[in-house]
Structure 1
């Protein structure tokens, strides 16, 4: 039988709203704080249509520790950057965009990249509009799961039964860290779409968030 602690988990709705953020802000779809001397993340194309080939990832979400201390930032980092390859990827549990997470120390970024690489082809349904964030913190119960874009909380299993994911590197049971939603409770949708109007759930290793992530789209 589940305990009360298992039934309630802290969560943060990101509550996106149309805005004009900078690379110094937490946001969805805005400019990323990326150093000029670090290679931009690219998708090698092995999991999507081979005709598309190698394409750059797109900056999707940027979250600073000062705004979202609930995130499991590794020591020495204060910024989480989420990138999507905005093409269909045919992998188990995650038919949709590929995901990359970058955890960094923002103070080490001195000179910014001049221009973010843009894909030559992409699926528009995976491209977000530009949004600032007005977070709402709450305690989420497994019996009443929010479908909005959020940190933590419970996974919204819209299209499948619950799935357990083990870390590919160490075998630890992964836990949802971030969920990107097709529809927001506020009605201010980001205009991306995952699965059958569901969520893209990113699960990380509790032992080390820099271990490979798992993604569930449903």
Structure 2
């Protein structure tokens, strides 16, 4: 099925026309649990990886003392997720049903205890595979039609998991790697994306408040301008008009390509390429959720308002990815050359 972002509560360019030339197109990926193949665009799905090309490994360092959660194998995490999903479905039918059955308790005992920490290079995990036929890919190198994103199963400081990008032409992959290696342990369950298919949708974005000049910020703060334009900003969640703009009219939440950089934790920082100094542009946003209480206006019309009526799990958290308890990891690339290092921004 397709997913449709509701119309924005208000055309903000009617409030301040100076925003019009700042509009950018972002592509919301709308990941939803499924069974992708190597020929699908996906989150957490199998990659069209050449059988004769080495699988990427992270060289570290991987400090066990910095681990936030109990390290588990990918098999452990998948088994425990099946138990949680079965429990949620059972209790949705009958609230008096047991949280776990004896069989599920055994699965928990077998897989919940954790795994030994690893040393040395560790296989990276698939995060996303995006075909250009499905998803617009900013700064796509000539001759490529496929982007593959992987990351380390271990956090690396404030930037979270270390990511790796691979551009390739799908037609050149004649023999696919059948069984990619998996890391012996994953630091957090939220670093293993649940396999999801995508239903991309293009939306219009505007800069975060902190990227606007003082005049535009003042115009957005002026309640009389909102009143004159016939716009309502007090939706019960926003603290002021600027906050309403930030939550509902600027950048879309969730997994997406392109658009504007999202800023919430820090002031905007330089995004200069470390090789050539060109400003890097947003490529892919990896998100912990598709929306939250403050951005519910972005919830697709097809998703239920009550998460309890949706299976499997909360529709706002389809990938089960968790970046530091709910943040995003934004990957930026240099438009001058795909060979230049990409940047990670956690917000």
> Residue 289 of structure 2 corresponds to which residue in structure 1?
183
Cα distance in 1 for partners of 2:183, 2:287 equals 22
| Cα deviation, residue 147, structure 1 | 2.0
Displaced runs of 4+ in structure 1, greater than 3 A?
2-6, 185-188
Question: Contact 1:13–1:148 (CA<8 Å) still a contact in 2?
Answer: yes
Out of 116, 121, 128, the residue aligned to residue 193 of structure 2 is 128
Cα distance in 1 for partners of 2:316, 2:57 equals 30
- Is residue 203 of structure 2 the alignment partner of residue 138 of structure 1? yes
Out of 322, 331, 339, the residue aligned to residue 193 of structure 1 is 322
Deviations 1:112-170 (A, max 9, x none): 11211100111222111010001110110114212211101112222211111211211
> Residue 19 of structure 1 corresponds to which residue in structure 2?
34
- Is residue 147 of structure 2 the alignment partner of residue 80 of structure 1? yes
| Cα deviation, residue 70, structure 1 | 4.1
3-state SS in 2 of match to 1:180 = strand
> Residue 202 of structure 1 corresponds to which residue in structure 2?
331
Cα distance in 2 for partners of 1:179, 1:158 equals 14
> Residue 132 of structure 2 corresponds to which residue in structure 1?
65
Greater fraction helix? 2
TM-score when scaled to structure 1?
A: 0.91
Cα distance in 2 for partners of 1:182, 1:209 equals 26
- Is residue 164 of structure 2 the alignment partner of residue 100 of structure 1? yes
3-state SS in 2 of match to 1:166 = coil
Question: Contact 1:203–1:214 (CA<8 Å) still a contact in 2?
Answer: yes
- Is residue 263 of structure 2 the alignment partner of residue 157 of structure 1? yes
Q: When the two structures are aligned, how many residues end up with a matched partner? A: 213
Bigger Rg, which one: 2
Cα distance in 2 for partners of 1:35, 1:80 equals 14
Deviations 1:61-84 (A, max 9, x none): 000011113432211111000001
Cα distance in 2 for partners of 1:142, 1:162 equals 11
> Residue 343 of structure 2 corresponds to which residue in structure 1?
214
Q: 1:205 to 1:83 in 2, by over 3 A?
A: same
Let me know the Cα RMSD of the aligned residues.
1.8
- Is residue 273 of structure 2 the alignment partner of residue 167 of structure 1? yes
Question: Contact 1:22–1:31 (CA<8 Å) still a contact in 2?
Answer: yes
Q: 1:200 to 1:128 in 2, by over 3 A?
A: same
Query: Unpaired segments of 5 or more residues in structure 2?
Result: 1-16, 65-117, 209-249, 292-298, 300-314
Greater fraction strand? 1
3-state SS in 2 of match to 1:151 = strand
Question: Contact 1:65–1:71 (CA<8 Å) still a contact in 2?
Answer: no
Query: Unpaired segments of 5 or more residues in structure 1?
Result: none
Out of 56, 77, 83, the residue aligned to residue 41 of structure 1 is 56
Question: Contact 2:32–2:198 (CA<8 Å) still a contact in 1?
Answer: yes
| Cα deviation, residue 215, structure 1 | 0.4
Cα distance in 1 for partners of 2:138, 2:146 equals 10
Cα distance in 2 for partners of 1:3, 1:28 equals 36
